[in-house]
Amino acid sequence: GAVVSQHPSWVICKSGTSVKIECRSLDFQATTMFWYRQFPKQSLMLMATSNEGSKATYEQGVEKDKFLINHASLTLSTLTVTSAHPEDSSFYICSARDTRSVSYEQYFGPGTRLTVT
């Protein structure tokens, strides 16, 4: 149980275009999902917290108009990188919190590698 998937696993796009990344909790419901970004040889940095049915909460320094988050259902959150630039190239990882779990643990997806050319 507690499996999180991401799609696509990797994507290459041209500068100026938009890219959508999906995060799904496959066997549990998640009222809260999180989006992280990880640059090579660095740790995970939280970008935003996504709550089902409400607006996402963005971390300081993350542009909400550039990184659009939609959490339309209890099993799906999407991150759209708008007008992507080469500096947006990174490994994007989502996690989902199991609402049934008393421990409130997050389960991570396998990540999406974005390359902007």
Partner 1 sequence: GQQLNQSPQSMFIQEGEDVSMNCTSSSIFNTWLWYKQEPGEGPVLLIALYKAGELTSNGRLTAQFGITRKDSFLNISASIPSDVGIYFCAGRAGTASKLTFGTGTRLQVTL
Q: Which residues bind partner 1 (CB under 8 A)?
A: 4, 6, 32, 34, 42-46, 49, 59-60, 91, 93, 95, 103-111, 113
Residue 2, phi-psi category: left (phi > 0), alpha (psi -120 to 50), beta (remainder): left
**Shortest distance (Å) from residue 70 CB to partner 1:** 19
CB closer to partner 1, 83 vs 101: 101
CB closer to partner 1, 66 vs 108: 108
CB closer to partner 1, 14 vs 41: 41
Please answer whether residues 44 and 36 qualify as being in contact, where contact means their C-beta atoms are separated by less than 8 angstroms: yes
Query: Distance from first CA to last CA of the chain, Å, rounded?
Result: 37
- Burial of 31-40, coded b for 16+ CB within 10 Å and e otherwise, reads ebbbbbbeee
**Shortest distance (Å) from residue 16 CB to partner 1:** 26
**Shortest distance (Å) from residue 31 CB to partner 1:** 10
Please answer whether residues 81 and 67 qualify as being in contact, where contact means their C-beta atoms are separated by less than 8 angstroms: yes
CB closer to partner 1, 75 vs 106: 106
